[in-house]
Amino acid sequence: MYRSGITIIFVCSLTLSTPAATAGLDPLSVGVRARVGEKRVLGQVAPESFDAYDLVATFRLPWQRHHPSGWGTGTRLITSAGVMQGVGKTALVVSAIPVVTFGSQDGRFTLDLGAGLALISEHRFANQDFGGALQAALTFGVAVPLYRRTGIGYRFQHYSDAGAYGSHTIGADFHMLEFTYRF
């Protein structure tokens, strides 16, 4: 047992240090975001209101297409870790959401749309039940430059179990303000 533990650590160490492990993930930006907005879930009134605060890292994925005009489409992976607070409870939330982008070739002006997964450490908040830890995550965002390498953006984010845990569950919508630093 002890020996296999060392083998696993050794294999992981080798895997993480090889160029192939990092191929395709090009760091693009890091940032912070916080919830602003109302208590609605895709048109419905939610039973509870939540605050959310995240650290976010965005990676450029290898699929990019640019037009000679300087505009184009591409793909990115938005990852985040943060907290969601409501009704006296705090939950850890981590997500990974691939998005399709449209914007300037330098990536400063962008629109994106995507779907991915989120894990929440607490799924029951007083009158609101998310159903379980694994949630579908939908997002739409827009970002513009602020000053040099910094930018500001708006992000709509929706968490839902998509009915996987039953019809009694309801998700949450977040209107978020983002501040980012581009590499």
pLDDT digit string (tens) for 64-111?
Answer: 898 898 899 999 999 999 999 988 899 999 999 999 999 988 777 999
Over residues 14-40, the pLDDT tens digits come to: 233 334 344 567 899 999 999 976 666
Over residues 140-182, the pLDDT tens digits come to: 999 999 999 999 999 999 999 888 888 888 888 899 999 999 9
What letter represents residue 178's amino acid?
A: E
The pLDDT of residue 105 is: 80
Identify each DSSP E strand in 38-87 by its residue range.
40-41, 44-45, 51-66, 71-86
The DSSP secondary-structure symbol of 46 reads P
Domains and CATH numbers, the chain: 24-182 (2.40.160.20)
Q: How many CA atoms lie within 13 A of 20 on its CB side?
A: 3
Residue 99 · residue 114 · CB < 8 Å: yes
pTM: 0.82
Q: Which residues, other chains included, contact 38 with Cβ-Cβ below 8 Å and sequence gap of 6+?
A: 175
The DSSP secondary-structure symbol of 126 reads T
Higher local confidence (pLDDT), 48 or 137? 137
The pLDDT of residue 7 is: 29
The DSSP secondary-structure symbol of 67 reads -
Q: Which of 64, 67, 71, 151 is nearest to 106 (CA)?
A: 71
Residue 90 · residue 84 · CB < 8 Å: yes
Q: Using alpha carbons only, what angle is made at residue 155 by residues 103 and 67, rounded to the nearest 5 degrees?
A: 5
Residue 20, class by beta-carbon neighbours within 10 Å (0-12 exposed, 13-18 middle, 19+ buried)? exposed
Over residues 1-11, the pLDDT tens digits come to: 333 333 233 33
The pLDDT of residue 37 is: 62
